[in-house]
Amino acid sequence: MQTDFTLAQLADPEIEAADTILRKCVHCGFCTATCPTYVLLGDELDSPRGRIYLIKNLLESDQPPTAKVVKHIDRCLSCLSCITTCPASVDYMHLIDRARARIEQTFARPWPERMLRALLAFVVPSPGVFRLALKAAALGRPFKAMLPGRLKGMVDLAPARVPAASAIDRPRVFEAQGKYKGKRLKRVALMTGCAQQVLRPGINEATVRLLTRRGCQVVVAAGAGCCGALVHHMGREDQAQKQARANIEAWEKAGVEAVVINASGCGTTIKDYGWMLKHDPAWAGRAARIADLARDVTEIMSELGVGEVTEKGLPVVTYHSACSMQHGQGLREEPKALLTAAGFEVREPAEGHLCCGSAGTYNMLQPALAGRLLERKVENLKRAGGAVIATGNIGCLEQIAGGFAKNPGKNGGPPVVHTVELLDWATGGPKPPGV
Ligand code: SF4
Ligand code: SF4
């Protein structure tokens, strides 16, 4: 694609990087076929190629975007399916990130939208505040008809019962277990995250059991918290970078050989810390080193092996690959291979490349489109017919569980669990809830 940036514009390293990305696009349009919003809406401006043109014009113009441009950019899920499909390796992820940051800096959103985004950016990354908000939402459910617009939908997304906080998420060290006691194979940090530890504390508990059983000493580092993905996808660069720096500092101090992440949305962002802080001389090298240490839990487990399987007669599992897992991190085979090695029969749904509509805060900010994608995903998962659904990202897990709760089918909805909960169960841990 030809671009028309001025030399003055190109002096900005962010614009220079965007220009390099834009020039790789050859307009072929292959990406449109696998883009969820184009599949649903059939509008070129809701396809990757259309958005790339919008972003080019936005960045070249030096003017605030129009409401129309913002509408089409906001509809992008950042699912990165287009990156998997693109034959020219166009780095759409960093391009849409730049557009979101530009919109955040220059576009005056209507105030209810601003309030909603500010609320999400404040509440969700902080586990204590998020837990309180979910409890308030559960109490407010009977009054939801009185709430305005999307707040109603957000109350629906909140679980009926908020689990108690797990002691596992407090800073401490968990020693390797069993035959590895005193002879650890690796010292790793577990990123305990933000929303996940509130919604499903059992996932971090299963991860610690699994890793320590396979010879890891697991550190929950003091000072680490939200990875920054949530605000990053809202274009709030400063807040995202602040959260990234806090994590980098915490994991450096922990002195670990790997940072293990069990939410693939977070993993995609942490693996990108090097890019996020590349223009900050004090942090660029440190960020790149931590990004190099970042591993999804299924990558580490693939190295360590699942170990001795103690559970027999395990159910058939339908594996839902999160977009951040398959498109963001390119991890397609590892989770399925681990489940198979643990004794599960693994099935995959049709249209597995299409997003379930969760996409960070997308299901709250774009509920109509997210709902359509969810319906489609639930239908495909039902057809696959597994007794349990497994995934590696808390956003998908909650979204799909909510979809089945609304539309359970004749045998009720299958339980939706994290891959590590199944691996832990098969190798000596407790049965995951609902299975
Ligand atoms: S990130 Fe997903 S929704 Fe956005 S343009 Fe690419 S394929 Fe479409
Ligand atoms: S597939 Fe790649 S090169 Fe082709 S239009 Fe899409 S982004 Fe551009």
**283-331 pLDDT per residue, tens:** 999 999 999 999 999 999 999 999 999 999 999 999 999 999 999 999 9
Query: Measured from the CB, is residue 48 less than 6 Å from ligand 1?
Result: yes
Q: Using a 6 Å cutoff on CB, does residue 171 contact ligand 2?
A: no
pLDDT at 39: 98
Whole-structure pTM value: 0.95
Q: Are residues 172 and 297 in the same domain?
A: yes
Inter-residue contact 322 to 286 (CB < 8 Å): no
Ligand 2 pocket, residue 86 CB under 6 Å: yes
pLDDT for residue 155: 75
Determine which residue's CA is closest to atom 2 belonging to ligand 2. 86
Among 98-107, 133-142, 342-351, 391-400, the minimum mean pLDDT is found in 133-142
Task: Give the position, in ligand 2's atom list, of the atom nearest the Cα of 28.
Answer: 4
Assess contact for 242 and 273: CB atoms under 8 A: no
Residue 162 lies in a domain: no
- Per-residue pLDDT at 411: 67
Residue nearest (by alpha carbon) to ligand 1 atom 4: 76
In a domain? residue 187: yes
Say if 76 falls within a structural domain: yes
Q: Which of 2, 22, 28, 79 to mutate to test the pocket of ligand 2 (most atoms within 8 A of CB)?
A: 28
pLDDT at 146: 65
Residue at 433 is within a domain: no
What is the rounded distance in angstroms from the CA atom of residue 288 to the CA atom of residue 364? 32
Tell me, yes or no, whether 81 and 122 share the same domain.
no
Q: How confident is the model at residue 410 (pLDDT cuts 50, 70, 90)?
A: low
Binning pLDDT at 50, 70 and 90, where does residue 71 land?
very high
Residue 435 lies in a domain: no
45 lines ligand 1 (CB under 6 A): no
Domain count, the chain: 4
CA distances from 195 to 11, 130, 375 (A): 39, 7, 23
Instruction: Say whether pLDDT at 413 is over 90.
Output: no
Higher pLDDT, 409 or 103: 103
Q: Looking at the structure, do residues 223 and 284 belong to the same domain, yes or no?
A: yes
Digit-coded pLDDT (tens) for 109-136? 999 999 999 999 999 999 999 999 999 8
The answer to whether residues 185 and 280 belong to one domain is yes
Q: Identify the weakest region by mean pLDDT among 299-313, 351-365, 410-424.
A: 410-424
Does 82 sit in the ligand 1 pocket, CB within 6 Å? yes
Closest ligand, as measured to the CA of 370: 1
CA dist., res. 123 & res. 405, Å (int): 25
CA dist., res. 160 & res. 196, Å (int):
16
Which two structure tokens, joined as six digits, stand for 332? 């397609």
Q: Which atom of ligand 2 is closest in space to residue 24's alpha carbon? A: 3
Considering the domain architecture, whether residues 119 and 175 belong to the same structural domain is answered as: no
Measured in whole angstroms, how far is the alpha carbon of residue 202 from the centre of its chain?
18
Q: Which atom of ligand 2 is nearest to the CA of 52?
A: 7
257 in the same domain as 145? no
Query: Cβ(196)–Cβ(287) under 8 Å?
Result: no
**Torsion angle, alpha carbons of 306, 307, 309, 315, to 10:** 0
207 and 279 share one domain: yes
Does position 37 have pLDDT exceeding 90, yes or no? yes
pLDDT at 137: 86
- The Cα 383–Cα 197 span in angstroms is 31
d(CA 225, CA 246): 8
Single out the residue in 250, 283, 301 at which a domain terminates.
Answer: 301
Kindly report the average pLDDT of the chain as a whole number. Answer: 95
Tell me which of 77, 89, 100, 354 to substitute to probe ligand 1's pocket, judged by most ligand atoms within 8 Å of the beta carbon.
77
Please indicate whether residue 83, judged by its CB atom, sits closer than 6 Å to ligand 2: no
Euclidean distance between CA atoms 405 and 407, whole angstroms:
6
**Residue whose structure tokens are 């495909």:** 380
Q: Which residue has the tokens 């360590």?
A: 304
Residue 151 has pLDDT above 80, yes or no: no
Give the per-residue pLDDT at 145: 65
Give distance in angstroms: CA of 25 to centre of ligand 2. 5
If asked whether residues 62 and 123 sit together in one domain, one would say no
Q: Whose CA is nearest to atom 3 of ligand 2?
A: 25
Range of the domain at 317: 309-426
- Whether the pLDDT of residue 54 is over 90: the answer is yes
Q: 251 falls in which pLDDT band (50, 70, 90)? A: very high
* 147 and 94 share one domain: no
Check whether residue 226 and residue 257 sit in a common domain: yes
Within a domain: 198: yes
Tell me the one-letter amino acid at 37. Answer: T
Cα 173 to ligand 2 centre (Å): 46
